[in-house]
Amino acid sequence: MRRDPTPARSLRTRLSFDERELQSRRNFFGITDDDLARLARLEPFAHKHMDDVVEEFYALLLGHPETKRFFPDDATVRRVKRLQREYFVALFAGRCDLEYVENRLRVGAVHEQIGMAPRWYIGAYRKYLSQLIERMTGDLGHADATAAYESALKLVMFDMSLAIDAYIAANLETLGRHQAAIRELSTPVIKVQDRILLLPLIGAIDSQRAQQVMETVLLRVIEEKAKVMIIDIAGVPVVDTKVADHLMKTTAAMRLVGAQTILTGISAQVARTIIQLGVDISSMHTLARLQDGIELALSMLGLQILPAKEPNP
Amino acid sequence: MSAHGPIPILRVGSNLLTTIHIDLHDTVAEAFQQDVLLSIERTGATGLVIDITGLDEVDTYVARILADTGRMAKLMGAQTVVVGMRPEVAATLIRMGYLMEGVETALDVDEGLALLIDRQNKKRRGT
C-alpha cells in the first residue's frame, strides 16, 4: 500500500510558513484580492473545462515514457485524474490562505515520495498554462482573457514555488534521516570486559563527529562505570592536527569523569604525521596494536591474561 | 551565609568526604573552601573527596574553585579527588578549554576513596 503523505499541517509548520510568510509571498507574486475575486468569478468556466483539461494534461504525462512510469495502472490514473480535477477547480476557488498553502505543499511532498523530479511537474505546469490561455481566449473577450490569465499565472507560479519548497524540504528530511543513521553507526562503543570499553573509529573524523564521539563515550563510560576507554584509530584514514586535538580533548574529558583513555591502532604513517605536525600527545597512552591496548587496560585494573596451563619452566 | 547552610563535610577514616549539591557561588564558595581547609586542619585528614554528582552545571569559575581548593588542601598534606562529574559537564569544560589540570578525578565516591586509600597504603609501605 501507499504510505500516507506527510501531514500537510506539520509540513507547513516545519517550513515555518505562517501568516506573515503567506503575505510576503503573495506580495512577491503579486497576488491581490482582485486576482482571487476574478478567478472566483471564473468558477463556472473551471467546471466546464475541468474534464477536458485534465484529459489533455494526462495525455502529456502518459505519452512520455519517463513520466508514464509514475502511473502504473488504470486505478492510479483514475485516482490522480480525480485529484487533478480538484486541483484545477481549486485554482478558481478564490482563496489563497494557509489551508490552500497546506494543500499545495502536499503536492510537492507526494511528488518527492514517489520520486517524481521537479522538472516533470514544472513541465506539466507549462501544459496547464497553455490550456488555460487557449480556453480563456476562446471563452472570454480579449481584455478579460488577458486579465484572467494574468491572475491564474500568478497563482500557478505561487503553487509551483510551494511544490518546490515542499520537495526540497522532504528531500532534506530524507537526507537528515540518513545522516542520523550514519551518526549512530559512527560511534559503536563495545564492552570488552567489565569496566573496559572499546571504540573502534572508522572513517574520517570531522569536528561534528569528534564532538559526538566525545559525548557518546562520556555517556557510555558513566553508564558502564568504565575505568578505561580504548579508542582504536586503525580505521581512521587521516590523522591531522585537528583529529589529534579532538582525541586529546576526549582524553581530557574522560579524565574529568574519572576514566583513562588508551589510543591504539597507531600506524607508522600516523606516528610520523603526528610527530612531523608537532602535536604533543604525550599525555595519552598510545600503542600500535589493539591487543596491547587491551592488555594495558587490564593491567590498569590489576588484571592480566595468562595461559590456561602454566608452561613448565 | 547561604540559605542552605554550610555544605556538610564528613570524615571517612583518614579522609574527608564532601558532597556539593548547591550552586558554588560567591559567599558559598568562599565558606566552602574555608570549611574544608579548617576540617583538614582539625582532623589531620590526608585525603579529600569532593563529590559533584549533584551539579548539573559547572562553569569555569566553579571549576577553578574546585581546583584551587585541591591545591590548597595539597599544601596541607591532603590529596584531593573530584568525583562524579557528569558527562555533559566534562564536555562543556573541555569545550571551554578548561582541562582542570592537576586535579585528580574518579568516577564516583567509591572509586575516589579507593584511590586515596590505595595511595595512602602505598605511601605507608614505601616509607
For residue B83, the distance in angstroms to the closest alpha carbon of chain A comes to: 7
pLDDT in the model for residue A310:
66
Q: What pLDDT does A296 receive?
A: 93
Task: List the CATH number of the domain containing B22.
Answer: 3.30.750.24
Whether pLDDT at A2 is above 50: no
Higher pLDDT, A293 or B5: A293
Instruction: Tell me the pLDDT band of B4, cut-offs 50, 70 and 90.
Output: low
Q: What gap in Å lies between CA A50 and CA A88, rounded to an integer?
A: 7
CA distance B64 to chain A (A): 13
Q: Is residue A163 within 8 Å of A111, Cβ to Cβ?
A: yes
Mean pLDDT, residues A213-225 taken together = 90
**DSSP-derived 3-state class of residue A276:** helix
Looking at residue A153, its pLDDT comes to: 93
Find the domain containing B30 and state its range.
9-126
Q: Which distant-in-sequence residues (6+ apart) come within 8 Å of B89 by Cβ?
A: A256, B52, B55, B56, B57, B58
Nearest to B111 among A254, A255, A258 (CB): A258
Q: Is residue B1 domain-resident?
A: no
For chain A, state the CA radius of gyration: 31
Residue of A nearest to B95 (CA): A249
Q: How far apart are CA A193 and CA A226, in angstroms?
A: 9
Q: Which residues of A touch B112 (CB under 8 A)?
A: 258
Which residues from A are below 8 Å from B when comparing CB atoms?
A: 214-215, 218-219, 221-222, 225-227, 249-250, 252-259
The Cα-based distances of A267 to A175, A180, A263, A271, A313 in angstroms read 34, 30, 11, 6, 36
Domains and CATH numbers, chain A: 8-184 (1.10.490.10), 190-300 (3.30.750.24)
Model confidence over A77-104: pLDDT tens digits?
Answer: 888 888 888 888 888 988 888 888 988 8
- The answer to whether A215 contacts B86, with C-beta atoms less than 8 Å apart, is no
What span, in angstroms and rounded, lies between the C-alpha atoms of A30 and B22? 59
CB spacing of A222 vs B107 below 8 angstroms: yes
Q: What would the pLDDT profile of A222-246 be if each residue is shown by its tens digit?
A: 999 999 999 999 888 888 878 888 8
* pTM, 2 dp: 0.57
DSSP string, A90-118: HTTS---SHHHHHHHHHHHHHHHHHT--H
| Chain B residues close to A215, C-beta within 8 Å | 87-88, 91
Is B4 part of any domain? no
Q: State the DSSP code for A250.
A: H
Is residue B57 situated within a structural domain? Answer: yes
pLDDT digits (tens, 9 = 90+) for B61-97: 888 888 889 988 888 889 999 999 999 999 888 888 8
Average pLDDT rounded to a whole number, residues A149-170: 90
Nearest CA in chain A to B109: A258
Three-state DSSP class for residue A199: strand
Closest residue in A to B97 (Cα–Cα): A249
| Chain A interface, best mutation among B99, B100, B108, B115, by max A CB count within 10 A | B99
Q: State the count of interchain CB pairs (< 8 A) between A and B.
A: 55
pLDDT band at residue B48, thresholds of 50, 70 and 90? very high
**Which residue matches cell numbers 563529590?**
B51
Q: How many residues does chain A have?
A: 313
Residue B89 sits at the chain A interface (C-beta within 8 Å): yes
Indicate yes or no: CB of A252 within 8 angstroms of CB of B111: no
The DSSP secondary structure of B25-85, one letter per residue, reads -THHHHHHHHHHHHHHHHH--SEEEEE-TT-S---HHHHHHHHHHHHHHHHTT-EEEEE--
- How many domains does one find in chain B? 1
> Widest CA span of chain A, in angstroms?
112
Residue A82's Cβ-side half-sphere holds a number of Cα atoms within 13 Å equal to 5
With respect to residue B91, please indicate whether it lies within any of the assigned structural domains. Answer: yes
Average pLDDT on B29-42 reads: 90
Give the three-class secondary structure for A58.
Answer: helix
